[in-house]
Chains A and B, each alone.
Chain A
Amino acid sequence: MTTQISFLLNGDEISHEIKDHWTLLHLLREEMGLIGTKEGCGNGECGACTVIVDGLAINSCLYLAIEAHGKHLETIEGLAATDGTLHPIQQSFVDEGGIQCGFCSPGMIMSSKALLDENPKANHEEIKHALAGNICRCTGYVQILESVEVARDQISGPISIQEGRGECNE
């Protein structure tokens, strides 16, 4: 029950022998040593294990490694430049206090990246919708949402107040 798979990981071609029942999270953390991606609940409830597969944010704890064959994967390890310069989303999480204990941060940042890659002008409501599957037990979310908005403004330039606030219906 082993299979050889190959995929693009943060731009690098990877070929790896895997077992059919391994999750992508297991492959990344336990087999490849990429421990930036976190395991929280292991059941798809918390979003700590979020990575991007072919542009879509997914829970790597519920995704079989074998299904990553032929796909383009992005993990938190691929965000910073080789010289250590942080990605604008990472930098804004640092600057705006979007990080406290840090355990949810890789997942939060990957969810934010998937959103801003697809919708660089995402408004407040769209950011909340995209991050609803990422749980943080420290910050109370306000600073996380602010961090994503600051990163968005960095990436796309400021958007109008009206666009940014969206409609509030909680």
Chain B
Amino acid sequence: MKAFKYLSPESVEAAISFYGEHSETAKYMAGGTDIIVKVKEGWMEPDYLISLKKIPEMNNLYKNEATGELSIGALTTHSTLEKSLMIQKDYPIIFDAVSNIGSLQVRNVGTIGGNLINAVPSADGAIPLIALDGVALLHGPDGERSCKVLDLFVAPYQTILKPGEILKKITIPPQPPHTGSGYTKFGRRAAMELPLIGIGVLLTLNSDYKTCIKARICLGVAAPTPMRAYDAEDFLLGKQITEEILNEAGNLAAAESKVRDSIRGKAWHRREMIQVYVRRMGLKCLEQIKEGR
């Protein structure tokens, strides 16, 4: 592997100033499970790796009980999310997604922020955060800014991050009562596999436990970047949710997806699986809402 110098700043400001000194010859590193592979393979040749691991505020995972806002530091590992009882209970869609990323060894080191910034079309981590209306907080040489997690992605492997900018954390606004959510990664096998398609569904019902007042249908690998199926979401709003209605939403989502043939699978197959899993994840949401009743 190419030699580099490892820098380990303890604040975001210090990290940005290291980047300022070394600019393009430096790369930020979160968990490192992707970047080390890239350096080993020679796809990336940094002279400096700026590790963000020692920055305390980037490692926090907490829910503000007063406001209901969830804050996920970008350096939070997939395992930390997977093991968190709060995530398991209140954010099942995050649990569903992170518990099947890579392998346990990768999840113990890899981070949610790293997963987002890699911006692979199949990033399992992005879909639940988009479904939950997550907001990304960025910090760079020009100060702080924020954007929707959905808007982080510009193209495969490309985000809106400017040189020197860091994804600091993701915040999730409070979720209304009677909300259910679920994610499925559909592929040939569960472990160590990129999904053929990733499907995340979140539904909020009215206090009558029937009428849909909020719907999020988010798809991974269905387009160059993670996408929301707006037609399907709009279709569900105001409807009494039944299996037939979810079926129809699945058809709409499949139709508006921009799936392609690839080495891993054919477009028609992906479309059919979107249809099937939008329904199944929708039913899972209903079940959760009923259980919480």
A129 to B192 Cα, complex, angstroms = 11
Within 8 A of B (CB), among A46-104: 47, 50, 56-59, 61-64, 66-67
A43 interfacial contact with B, CB 8 Å: yes
* Bound Cα distance A67, B32 (Å): 11
With A and B bound together, what is the CA distance between A19 and B4 in angstroms? 9
Q: Which of A1, A19, A45, A56 contacts B192 (CB 8 A)?
A: A45
Contacts A44-B37, A132-B191, A133-B192: A66 and B105 contacting too (C-beta < 8 A)?
no
B174, chain A: closest CB distance, angstroms: 31
Q: Does B105 lie within 8 Å of A111, measured CB to CB?
A: yes
Chain B CB count within 10 A is highest, among A129, A132, A170, for A132
Chain A residues near B102 (CB-CB < 8 A): 44, 133
Cα separation A143 to B36 with both chains bound (whole Å): 33
Q: Which residues of A contact B1 (CB under 8 A)?
A: 21, 23
Q: Is the interface of B mostly helix, strand, loop or mixed?
A: loop
Q: Which residue of A lies closest to B41 (CB)?
A: A43
Contact with B along A10-27 (1 / 0, CB 8 A): 000000000111010000
Whole-angstrom distance from the CB of B284 to the nearest CB of chain A?
13
The answer to whether B103 and A133 touch across the interface, beta carbons within 8 angstroms, is yes
Shortest distance in angstroms between A148's beta carbon and chain B's nearest beta carbon?
Answer: 14
- Shortest B96–chain A CB gap in Å is 13
Q: What's the Cα separation between A114 and B102 when bound, in Å?
A: 17
Contact yes or no, A47 B4, CB < 8 A: no
Chain B: residues with Cβ within 8 Å of the partner, total of: 27
The verdict on A42 contacting chain B, using a C-beta distance below 8 Å, is yes
Q: Which A residues lie within 8 Å of B53 (CB)?
A: 67
Query: Nearest CB to that of B106 among chain A residues?
Result: A44
A35 at the interface (CB under 8 A from B): no
Is there contact, CB below 8 Å, between B6 and A62?
A: no
Q: Which residues of B contact A (CB under 8 A)?
A: 1-6, 32-33, 36-37, 39-40, 49, 51, 53, 79, 99, 102-106, 108-109, 190-192
The 10 tightest CB contacts between A and B, nearest first, are A133-B103, A132-B191, A20-B6, A56-B108, A59-B105, A62-B36, A133-B105, A21-B3, A66-B6, A62-B33
Which residues of A line the B interface, CB within 8 A? 1, 3, 19-21, 23, 42-45, 47, 50, 56-59, 61-64, 66-67, 111, 129-130, 132-135, 170
